[in-house]
Chain A
């Protein structure tokens, strides 16, 4: 059987950054498995700029940002298998703690790979029309924003000329601008929630600048057209997200794009038996970004959906370093001292979900999202009921991920640590 120390599942921004940092941390045997025909993942179709502001202090396009990591991986001579689909990850039956990764490609066929550690970096998928229970016909002309983005930016084809968009996720906003630049008429963006799911800068740059209306608290209530979309009807919704009769507006169009949420792709993770968070739909991880299966780490959108790729790279680098420590035998194995972070009062979840101060690097980065739009709110962290952080935010919204960095010494100062709580407070 083929062997590697670390198998990285996915060659997008997360997988590449993880592999690079693992290699830099001294692990020489790494294999990246990528299902697409080239590295870079979804960034390849994100040809707009705005990537890398945090990481490189300059504005790059998606492919440019990806290329910096691809170049580094090549310089570090990290082997990658392209066109390669991982079919399963399982624990080795010999009790060694190794993982057996079964993958498939045209060149090698069906291969079993023994890995000491695995880094999950499979990314996410878009919520499809069917999962939204939108009533109406099912003609051609209904695409997720990402599918449309691939058709336009990779294949060079227009999926439609007259567009309605449901959902104000970032890809939907980006595609509103992109389709407009390509000559399509984007008539309206409807968003079910009373706030946008995307970044503020995307609303300004992709909708406002082009005069595309954003209708909050609206949803699609009917799709007409038996072969190709002919019209889409939207309506205002009440506080329970139910359409309000009499508020319908009908738009004649040939295309409906959907940008209604991203779902981490964790089928391999679930089959492996890792605990999945019902909130993030990603695996639960500890401060080392290790899942409930020892030696299996997760990062990027497979862990929880991010807004900015810069944060994906940061997080993935950390997963890579921790995986390297694991295979070098330097990581503490005991789960004694694990503390589950409590997310409450407007904080929907945190990643990591579990912190063990004994295993921490000098700092731990807590990422989370809030459940609604808040103004002039405080983000607070409590250890054993004692507030150790109290930070004012002018605005916090579900569309923008929040980040808190905690120092190891804060934890060391608390005796007999039992609880860690992250919450929003009005004062």
Chain B
């Protein structure tokens, strides 16, 4: 099967690229090694829409951050993604550090970030009643925000699929081999699901983007998995802060932030620890206590007791600390989308467009007339009026049945998530799309019910239901006395 474009990786960058490419008259495939979209860096990050003052002026990172931030409203409207521009604050504790804020402010202005200003203690205290007594100054960026990274990625994928893009999961690309055929230059991709062919390859392989890149280019790149650990607190703690609050940035990144999530939880993290294993998403006691210690320096009274989960994600840190996007010089037709670390999520809308324009340009592709930019989200019946909700249940009783009590997720929403393309096939897939299992009991009560629904909808035995694909089966067999 010859595709015009194969995108390696169904993270937020790959899916954004797929959606933007699906505007063109092209045969597109997204090949993903995991069982679902949003299984790597995209699922475990700060879920922040950065304003854009951090990146060095003149870099692609700075440009795409500011562009992505600007595009986020429209993208989230079209794709029905939760997004809230709550504003961000970089706080500091001494007058000396104020100069760092001024540097950031100047950098932000050069990058084109609007409405930045420095606020003093009194105004800051009013904006954030729980700042510690030592906290003196803050850089306020009203364009900073929070977004749901799971929905953004799934929405990009669904909209791409609705416009003709195909997805293959559990498909690990082992080797990319450029070759010349009668039809011109063609890439042969050896995968865990057999051979695929494409005229253009987009390398959005995240932590593996260096491996893929280095197979076709003599200009080698190197990506380091940089781990970040987080604590997530219950919704009862979600209003402890009102903005995204950062400490002063360090050489390793933007530091441990404290922020409400778009769903009303409180998130603190990340750490920044360089590791070797591109799948080393384990937390360590040391990192988890570092998260607690650092966040407490500038925000008082964080209700750590309300922690409902901790997790770690890996940033794909390229040695040059810069996005590498574009056709690789010594390998025509091979488009890199590599080194996408923070602010990658913010930049995703702009990255998608840039990659799509590059790939479409190589193929001289034309835009389709019937591209539909709108994706309807999974209906949350809680947002309906009581009358409309009643009407919905009379049409579709499954919306009257609460499966996840912590997040009030109905069976109807879970069925919707499973029946979509690409749809949920595991507990985590359902969780990321509907929030079932994401609440304070962390799936203790709902997982047996969600397993039943998955089993019924997918037509597979309960024993085959996994947490997140592969060997992550929930149960190992039947009781002794049954069957």
Contact = CB atoms under 8 A, between A and B. Distances in A.
B220 interface: no
Interface string A109-127: 1101000000000000110
Main secondary structure on A side of the interface with B: mixed
B459 interface: no
Most buried by B among A112, A129, A140: A140
A272 to B, nearest CB: 14
A371 B294 CA distance: 31
A155 interface: yes
B446 to A, nearest CB: 10
B16 to A, nearest CB: 26
Given A140-B468, A158-B478, A226 B279 contact: yes
Interface stretch (A19-27, A99-107, A380-388): A99-107
B477 interface: yes
A106 B308 contact: no
Given A85-B402, A136-B283, A156-B482, A106 B476 contact: no
Contact of A137 (B282, B288, B307, B475): B282
Interface of B: 231-232, 236, 279, 281-285, 287-288, 307-311, 386, 389-390, 393-394, 397-398, 400-402, 405-406, 408, 440-445, 447-448, 462-463, 466-480, 482-483
Nearest to A181: B480
Given A109-B400, A110-B389, A223-B282, 17 more contacts: A35-B405, A106-B401, A110-B393, A128-B309, A128-B444, A133-B288, A135-B284, A137-B282, A138-B311, A140-B467, A140-B474, A156-B478, A157-B477, A158-B475, A158-B477, A159-B474, A182-B480
A332 interface: no
Interface stretch (A50-58, A145-153, A301-309): A145-153
B472 A228 contact: yes
A125 B441 contact: yes
A270 interface: yes
A92 interface: no
A122 to B, nearest CB: 9
A87 interface: yes
Given A35-B405, A133-B307, A137-B282, A126 B479 contact: no
A223 B288 CA distance: 15
A144 B478 CA distance: 19
Interface residues of A, number: 52
A157 B408 contact: no
A83 B399 CA distance: 12
A160 B287 CA distance: 30
Contacts, number: 139
Given A104-B402, A129-B442, A157-B462, A137 B281 contact: yes
A87 B408 contact: yes
A183 B480 contact: yes
Contacts of A197: none
A130 interface: yes
Contact of B236 (A87, A183, A270): A270
A110 B442 contact: no
Contacts of B406: 267
A130 B308 contact: yes
B286 to A, nearest CB: 8
A129 B405 CA distance: 18
Contact of A147 (B285, B397, B444): B444
Contact of B476 (A108, A131, A160, A223): A160
A221 interface: yes
Contacts of B279: 226
Interface string A227-264: 11000000000000001000000000010000000000
A273 interface: no
A128 B477 contact: no
A294 interface: no
A393 interface: no
A109 B389 CA distance: 7
A68 interface: no
Q: What 4 A-B pairs have minimum CB-CB distances, sorted nearest first?
A: A130-B309, A128-B442, A140-B467, A106-B400
A121 to B, nearest CB: 15
B39 to A, nearest CB: 12
Nearest to A242: B285
A155 B455 CA distance: 13
A363 to B, nearest CB: 35
